[in-house]
């Protein structure tokens, strides 16, 4: 009787595992996208390791406006978790969503400091812009904008993102730093840049031998090596309860400030930045994840836009900055992530981080740099498909590629690329190649550059 019971139990467990695997296969189309559960989990952990620093950076930056840092940390984590789960479960996309770097700088230094507004005013602008983004997503306006952008410019966005990712990694590790005309070489007598260079070499070797989990191996190894070098700071504690977000939740300004010219300007800029930042990022990531069809159309793009819109609404309500698809998602994609299971894995890691944040936040920038450089190289490979022989195509594409990293702004790179495309085509007698939506975008970008 015992043996039969044991055997029955074993068979039941085996059947349950088989059914669960079948569910994952059907839900996430693993075979169709040439992936496995193991690969997706590794990719999700890798994405988390490269994005975890956001949980420290965003609260630190927003606290400059007077917002309680602990409350922002919790709000940031919750908004990121919800948005990433939507992208994973609903969109089946390997994208990680979190507050976008640059948006919090506009929040603090342009609105609070520059315009002398309260952080509550800026938070209200985040919420209102997110509602508008959700409406634009529901009516598929954002997807329509993507579809009218010429293929050459779309490819240029991918290349520009590659350079941007690389530059972020090099700057964060101190391999390059402000100086000279734009930047200068970092101080290689310090361990940070040397550790990053060692990691870059390590990733190259592991990838040459096709070692699975190369990114995660390098991140963990670099973090451990950084302990005796003084690059990695060990935490005083491992477990901590997440701080309350009560001090920042639903702290909106009154109607007199909502219906003001200043609020309209702030909301417009948040909407503009979000639309074109996410178009560029989603284009680049989808291309590398092979989630585009033969016509270059991105699969389920609107689902990723829905995820960032809802995530941003939550961020505005709880006390954080605008949510979007992150460049760091590229690390998980490069590790083989192709489905929403990657995003879901990262979401669970973010949930753990709410309670184990001191442990997860010890990963130094130097340990992340090798991953970003490697991903940047991969994305730059798309440049071979850019038409550089036709000058009316080449100049707008080239401007897009270089402006993105030089200005630290995806939206500015796209804006100048589209504007130059419209002007050059118009002046050179190629007006028939310009679609009406491109004319409209060009005019709006010109107005923004000159007057806003």
pLDDT digit string, tens, across residues 195-209: 999 999 999 999 899
Residue 362 domain-assigned (yes or no): yes
So what's the pLDDT on residue 1? 45
- Count up the domains in the chain and report the number: 1
Average pLDDT over the chain reads 90
Residues pairing with 97 in the sheet: 325
Count CA atoms closer than 13 A to 279's CA, side-chain side. Answer: 31
Region of 48 please: left (phi>0), alpha (psi -120 to 50) or beta.
alpha
> Is 217 within the bounds of a domain?
yes
Residue 244 carries which DSSP code? P
Q: Can you give the residue range of the structural domain that contains 124?
A: 32-378
For residue 280, pLDDT over 90 is answered with: no
Given a contact cutoff of 8 angstroms between Cβ atoms, the answer to whether 326 and 98 are in contact is yes
pLDDT of residue 405 exceeding 80: yes
Tens of pLDDT, residue by residue over 212-248, are 788 889 999 999 999 999 999 888 888 888 999 999 9
Rounded average pLDDT over 314-341: 94
Query: Given this model, what pLDDT does residue 215 score?
Result: 86
Task: Report if residue 13 sits inside a domain.
Answer: no
Q: Which region holds residue 100: left if phi is over 0, alpha if psi is between -120 and 50, else beta?
A: beta
Segment 346-357 mean pLDDT: 92
pLDDT at 100 over 70: yes
Q: If we measure between CA atoms, which residue out of 129, 125, 131, 101 comes closest to residue 111?
A: 125
Q: Looking up tokens 């897009």, which residue turns up?
A: 400
CA distance 340 to 328: 15
pLDDT band at 30 (very low <50, low <70, confident <90, very high): very high
- Kindly state whether residue 447 falls inside one of the protein's structural domains: no
Residue 383 resides in a domain? no
Higher pLDDT, 121 or 19: 121
Distance CA(7)–CA(79), nearest Å, equals 45
Mean pLDDT for 398-426 is 91
Is there a domain that residue 416 lies in?
no
Residue 246 to residue 319: CA distance in whole angstroms: 9
Residue 41 has pLDDT above 90, yes or no: yes
In a domain, 403, yes or no: no
DSSP 339: S
Lowest-confidence region among 38-47, 106-115, 117-126: 106-115
In this structure, is residue 269 part of a structural domain? Answer: yes
Residue 356, Cβ neighbours under 10 Å: how many?
16
The position carrying tokens 């594409």 is 397
- 264 pLDDT tier (thresholds 50, 70, 90): very high
Does residue 411 contact residue 280 with C-beta atoms inside 8 Å? yes
Identify the CA nearest to 60 among candidates 49, 50, 69, 47.
69
Section 343-348 average pLDDT: 97
Q: What pTM did the predictor assign?
A: 0.81
Region 310-338: what's the mean pLDDT? 95
**Does the structure show a pLDDT above 90 at 265?**
no
């Amino acid at each position: 009787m015992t043996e039969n019971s044991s055997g029955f139990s074993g068979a039941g467990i085996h059947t349950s595992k088989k059914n669960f695997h079948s569910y994952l296969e059907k839900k996430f189309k693993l075979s169709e996208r040439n992936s496995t559960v193991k690969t997706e989990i590794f990719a999700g952990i890798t994405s988390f390791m490269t994005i975890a620093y956001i949980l420290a950076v965003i609260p630190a930056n927003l606290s400059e406006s007077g917002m309680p840092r602990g409350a922002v940390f919790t709000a940031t984590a919750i908004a990121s978790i919800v948005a990433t789960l939507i992208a994973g479960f609903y969109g089946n996309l390997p994208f990680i969503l979190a507050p976008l770097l640059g948006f919090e700088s506009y929040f603090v230094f342009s609105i609070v400091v520059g315009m002398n507004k309260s952080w509550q005013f800026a938070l209200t602008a985040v919420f209102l812009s997110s509602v508008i983004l959700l409406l634009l997503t529901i009516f598929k306006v954002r997807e329509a904008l993507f579809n009218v952008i010429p293929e050459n410019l779309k490819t240029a966005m991918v290349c520009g993102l590659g350079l941007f990712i690389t530059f972020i990694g090099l700057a964060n590790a101190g391999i390059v730093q402000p100086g000279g005309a734009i930047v200068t070489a970092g101080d290689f007598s310090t361990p940070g840049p040397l550790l990053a260079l060692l990691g870059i070499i390590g990733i190259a070797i592991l990838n040459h031998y096709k070692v699975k989990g190369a990114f995660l191996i390098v991140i963990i190894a670099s973090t451990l090596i950084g302990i005796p070098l003084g690059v990695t700071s060990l935490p005083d504690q491992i477990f901590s309860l997440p701080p309350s977000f009560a001090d920042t939740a639903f702290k909106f300004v009154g109607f007199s400030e909502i219906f003001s010219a200043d609020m309209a300007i702030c909301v417009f800029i948040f909407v503009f930045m979000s639309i074109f930042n996410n178009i560029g990022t989603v284009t680049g990531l989808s291309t590398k994840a092979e989630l585009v069809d033969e016509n270059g159309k991105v699969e389920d793009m609107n689902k990723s836009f829905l995820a960032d819109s809802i995530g941003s609404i939550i961020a505005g309500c709880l006390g954080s900055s605008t949510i979007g698809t992150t460049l760091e998602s590229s690390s998980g994609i490069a590790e083989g992530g192709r489905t929403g299971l990657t995003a879901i894995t990262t979401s669970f890691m973010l949930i753990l981080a709410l309670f184990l944040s001191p442990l997860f936040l010890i990963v130094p920038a130097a340990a992340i740099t090798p991953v970003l450089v490697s991903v940047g190289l991969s994305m730059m490979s798309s440049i071979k498909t850019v038409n550089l022989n036709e000058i009316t195509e080449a100049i707008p594409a080239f401007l897009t590629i270089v402006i993105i990293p030089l200005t630290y702004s995806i939206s500015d790179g796209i804006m100048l690329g589209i504007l130059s495309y419209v002007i050059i085509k118009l002046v050179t007698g190629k007006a028939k190649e310009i679609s009406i939506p491109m004319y409209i975008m060009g005019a709006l970008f010109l107005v923004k550059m000159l007057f806003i």
